[in-house]
Amino acid sequence: MIYSKEFIEEVQFEALVALEECTKLPSDLHNKVEHYCSMMDYRRIQVLSNIIASTSFTDLFLEHTKNIGVDTVDSIRLYITAAQDLATNVGIDNLFYNEQYVEVIMASILKHEYNPKTRGDDAFDVDKNPTEYKSINMTSKSGGSFQFHWISRDKLASYERVKDVYFSLREGANIKGIWSLPMSVIFPYLVTEYNKAEMKRGIMVSNGIEKEKNIDAHKSFSLSKIIKLGAKKVYESEEQELSKKSRA
């Protein structure tokens, strides 16, 4: 069975109304969302991410957070709880663990199958190839770069199976742009950093310092660096497109 765009919008609207009233989803709406989400993985992600990233949700959130205070903080808590409830209803139990909501939204935009597990590949593309997601929050005061942390032998083995890495720039939950680069381009840099850390580990061990595993390797990439390496832009938000047109 294929559902129409109107059905998706109806579910989204009803869920937004429930959020506005700061209530849990009514049982009939819960059943409707659950039944719909059982159809296709990427569509279940679309329902959730469209709600969280929609202008209506943002306006609704800001309306309740004009003045920071006890009531406002309580409203934030209720919205976060509501988002987590929605995520749990579609099989995502760790929406806020390491900002996984960003990966949820990226998967929706890219029409990928999101992997809700906290370990393993971030998502799978339309051909079922494992993918890796990295993101920079543009609202961060310290700027940012795309980070590969704790590069271990096991992680390298996992990365070696990945076809493409997707890098996003965002403002909070709003994805501004996404770039794609084959992992085969990134991988040699990760191996180099791992080997450097392994050499340091060897020196420590030879000096009598116990260090069983090498997990100290890190590598970061700026947006300009991945573009120089050949990254291609695969998504740009409507807001960014309109901004470019207005400056033209």
Cβ contact 185:220 at 8 Å: no
- Tell me how far apart the alpha carbons of residues 194 and 150 are, in angstroms, rounded to a whole number: 9
Cα angle 102, 33, 5; round to 5: 80
Angle between helices 27-37 and 5-20 (to 10 degrees): 140
Query: According to the model, what pLDDT value does residue 60 have?
Result: 58
* pLDDT tens profile 113-171: 999 887 889 999 999 999 999 999 887 655 679 999 889 888 999 999 999 999 999 98
Cβ contact 18:26 at 8 Å: yes
Query: According to the model, what pLDDT value does residue 228 have?
Result: 97
pLDDT of residue 22 exceeding 60 = no
Global pTM reads 0.67
- Quick one: tokens of 146? 């795309």
Query: According to the model, what pLDDT value does residue 224 have?
Result: 94
Least confident of 24-38, 58-72, 86-100: 58-72
11-25, 120-134, 192-206, range with greatest mean pLDDT: 120-134
> Which tops the pLDDT comparison, 48 or 200?
200
pLDDT of residue 40 exceeding 70 = no
Q: What is the CA radius of gyration of the chain?
A: 21
Cβ contact 187:164 at 8 Å: no
CA-to-CA dists, residue 127 to 130, 145, 156, angstroms: 9, 28, 22
Mean pLDDT, the chain, integer = 79
pLDDT of residue 62 exceeding 70 = no
Provide CB contacts within 8 A for 166, sequence distance 6+.
106, 110, 131, 132, 133, 134, 178, 179, 180, 234
